[in-house]
Amino acid sequence: MTRYHYIEGLNAIRNTVIAVMSQHHEFKLTDAIDIEQGRYRKTAKLMKDLASRLYEDIAISAKVAADKAATGEQGDLFDK
């Protein structure tokens, strides 16, 4: 797997998480008890944190790819 494919894969996962976040935010808990409200908020935060983490992972790998491009080194990121 090349770094480019890794970045594409992370971006696809991030886009999926963002889509799921959008669906999750459509739920309106009008009659929820405290534990349901708390879990709803924790789930929303978890997804937001995951999307942020994926964004950071993409940024780091893109930076490394740019740095390595200057030296001409762009081999496989992971061994198969």
Domain definitions of the chain by residue range: 3-70
Whether residue 54 has pLDDT greater than 80: yes
* Residue 75, pLDDT score: 62
Average pLDDT, the chain: 90
Question: Do the Cβ atoms of 47 and 17 come closer than 8 Å?
Answer: yes
* Residue 34, pLDDT score: 95
Rama region for 65: left / alpha / beta (φ>0; ψ in -120 to 50; rest): alpha
Whether the full predicted model's pTM is greater than 0.75, yes or no, is yes
